Each structure stands twice: as structure tokens, then as C-alpha cells.
Amino acid sequence: MKKNDLQAIAFPCFGTRISPRFDYAQSILIVTVRGGEIVERQDLATGYSRPLEKIHELIRLGVKTIACGGIDRLSLHYCRKQHLRVYAWLTGEVEDILADMLRAGTSVSRPSSKKVCRPVGPKNKLKPCRASNT
């Protein structure tokens, strides 16, 4: 991604924390970033939407990246087919994870038993879930 490109990142939330599961998120925070700076924040109330309905709405809003807790295989596979990048098994406060992502070099809090979203490379950048790589 070029430095001045806009990028929309979705954070499924449960209160102020990353929702433990994508499908149970009470709301989704959509953060638009340009050059490492936040240019817009939008709260999306998801209510009782089904996971695929949530994904369709995120796509409609221009989201290209989802940072979430657990996500079912069907939703993850569908995200991959739609060319969405998914960082899964994240835990903690949304604002902390957002700050880590903006710093683009720090790891995020996640269960140590999960290996699908780990810092890699010379600058310790986050790697998306293997299932979401196309």
C-alpha cells in the first residue's frame, strides 16, 4: 500500500475490547487511515446481523482489513474470497490494538496458543491469517 492510500480497518467490538468472536460483536469500529494517521472513525451497530451480513456491509463501506478475535471458518473463507485481509485471534482493548497496528512494527496481544497472526519479518510486522492470503 502506498503511503497516501486510504485504508479502512474494521474492529468488531464488545464494549471497548475486541469482540471474542466476530459473529457476536455488538458493534464494529471502522477506522480509515492514510499514511499512518487516522482520518475518520465510524461506529457501525451490528445488532443481531449474521456474520455474512456483517461482511457484506463492511465490503460495501470499503473495508479491506478486519482485526478481530475468533472467527468461524465459513466467515474467514468468505473474507478470503472477497480479498479481505483478516488478523484473527486478537485480544484486548480496541484502542491498544489500533495503536499497535498504526505503529506497524509491534506485536498485539493474543492467545499464545494461536499461531495464525504473529509478528514476522525484520521489522516485526503483523502477518495476516494464512487462510486470508490470496
Q: What is the pTM of this model?
A: 0.77
Is the CB of residue 71 less than 8 Å from the CB of residue 25? Answer: no
Exposed (0-12), middle (13-18) or buried (19+): which is 103, by Cβ within 10 Å?
exposed
Interval 24-74: pLDDT, tens? 898 999 999 988 889 999 999 987 789 999 999 999 999 999 999 999 999
Interval 4-30: pLDDT, tens? 678 999 999 999 999 999 998 989 999
Please give the pLDDT value at position 6: 84
Residue 113 CA: distances (Å) to CA of 68, 81, 110, 116? 16, 26, 9, 9
- Percent of the chain topping pLDDT 70: 74
Write the CB contacts of 103 (distance below 8 Å, at least 6 apart in sequence).
Answer: none
User: Which single residue is written with the C-alpha cell 461482511?
Assistant: 55
Please give the pLDDT value at position 104: 58
Domains along the chain with CATH numbers? 6-132 (3.30.420.130)
pLDDT higher than threshold 80 for residue 119: no
Interval 90-115: pLDDT, tens? 999 999 999 988 885 333 333 333 33
Is the CB of residue 57 less than 8 Å from the CB of residue 49? Answer: yes
Which of 101 and 116 is assigned the larger pLDDT?
Answer: 101
